[in-house]
């Protein structure tokens, strides 16, 4: 692992599902000696709590009224990131189909976004050497002053194939169904009024369709190194 930078570096990596955000972000954080934050896991954790406590996730008013109740905590070690709700490890259940189907609705509620955005900013500010933060609105809303901004993209076919490969058992679906599900998620995330999925004007767009993971990682690490040299 590289030594922790003398000057903290904030890296925002945004993009839709299936573009390689998580794998890239964790690997880049390890290479650069930075912390790592999966903001999507926080929204999934909030959604899991809502479902577990009988909150109607399709009722924005009900979700808003309950949003401040759960205590969500994220560990920022890229080698072993953690996510807990009220002290309970939820890293496995938040990846289930029930949460996946409901997370867009919950994350669209402005009160939810306000609470989690504040949490994300606090975590980023307290990261001693800097941090890689992945999500959908990091470079535009959460950390608009990030030192390095990257927006990952990929073709619908590639994204669907990657997503299908991640699913097993009853959650596995055909490529066509997975592609349709991703398209619905994209539409929901891009069309929401509160902090929609969008590329920041000053973000570097990287199409990962024909790139290997090591190539994508190298591209982002190079951007960080370039920023560090300019900041000296």
What does DSSP assign to residue 4? P
Residue closest to 208 by CA, chosen among 13, 75, 47: 13
**Distance separating alpha carbons of residues 203 and 219, to the nearest angstrom:** 13
- d(C-alpha 183, C-alpha 17), whole Å: 10
Mean pLDDT of 91-111: 94
Percent of the chain past pLDDT 70, that is, above it, reads 91
For 183-225, write each residue's pLDDT tens digit.
Answer: 777 777 776 777 777 899 999 999 999 999 999 999 999 999 9
Task: Assess whether pLDDT exceeds 50 at residue 117.
Answer: yes
Model confidence band, residue 67 (pLDDT cutoffs 50, 70, 90): very high
Mean pLDDT of 108-112: 95
Q: Residues 68-82: pLDDT tens digits?
A: 999 999 999 999 999
Q: What is the mean pLDDT of the segment spanning 136-158?
A: 94
Distance set, CA 41 to CA 94, 95, 96, 196, 205 (Å)? 7, 9, 12, 17, 23
Contact partners, residue 177, CB within 8 Å, separation at least 6:
none
Taking all residues of the chain, what is their mean pLDDT, rounded to a whole number?
89
Task: Tell me: pLDDT of 4 over 70.
Answer: no
Tens of pLDDT, residue by residue over 80-94, are 999 999 999 999 999
Q: Give the separation between CA 42 and CA 83, rounded to whole angstroms.
A: 7
Reported as a pLDDT band with limits 50, 70 and 90, residue 172 is very low
Asked if 135 contacts 41 with a C-beta cutoff of 8 angstroms, the reply is no
Q: What is the CATH number of domain 9-223?
A: 3.40.50.300
Bridge partners (DSSP) of residue 13 are 134, 150
Asked if the model's pLDDT at residue 3 lies above 50, the reply is: no
Instruction: Determine contact, residues 158/21, Cβ cutoff 8 Å.
Output: no
**What is the SS3 assignment for 101-117?**
HHHHHHHCCHHHHHHHH
Confidence check: pLDDT of 2 > 90:
no
Examine the pLDDT at 161 and tell me if it is beyond 50. Answer: yes
β-strands 130-135, 9-14: how paired?
A: parallel
The angle that helices 39-52 and 110-126 make with each other, rounded to 10 degrees, is 130
Residue entry with tokens 């945004």: 14
**Alpha-carbon gap, residue 148 to 225, rounded angstroms:** 10
**Strands 82-85 and 72-75, sheet pairing:** antiparallel
pLDDT (0 to 100) of residue 6: 52
- The pLDDT confidence band at residue 109, using thresholds 50, 70 and 90, is very high
């Amino acid at each position: 692992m590289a030594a922790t930078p003398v000057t903290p570096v904030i890296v925002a990596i945004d993009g839709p599902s299936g573009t390689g955000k998580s794998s890239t972000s964790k690997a880049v954080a390890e290479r650069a000696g930075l912390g790592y934050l999966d903001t999507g896991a926080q929204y999934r954790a909030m959604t899991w709590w809502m479902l577990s406590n009988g909150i109607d996730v399709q009722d924005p008013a009900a979700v808003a009224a309950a949003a401040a109740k759960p205590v969500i905590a994220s560990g920022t070690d890229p080698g072993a990131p953690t996510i807990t709700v009220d002290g309970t490890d939820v890293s496995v259940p938040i990846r289930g189909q029930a949460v996946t189907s409901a997370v867009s609705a919950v994350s669209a509620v402005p009160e939810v976004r306000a609470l989690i955005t504040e949490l994300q900013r606090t975590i980023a500010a307290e990261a001693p050497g800097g941090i890689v933060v992945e999500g959908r609105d990091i470079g535009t809303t959460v950390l608009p002053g990030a030192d390095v901004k990257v927006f990952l993209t990929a073709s619908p076919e590639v994204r669907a194939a990657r997503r299908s490969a991640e699913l097993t058992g009853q959650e596995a679906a055909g490529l066509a169904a997975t592609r349709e599900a991703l398209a619905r998620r994209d539409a929901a995330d891009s069309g929401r009024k509160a902090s929609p999925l969008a590329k920041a004007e000053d973000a570097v767009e990287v199409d990962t369709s024909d790139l290997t993971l090591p190539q994508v990682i190298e591209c982002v690490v190079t951007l960080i190194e370039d920023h560090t040299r300019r900041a000296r």
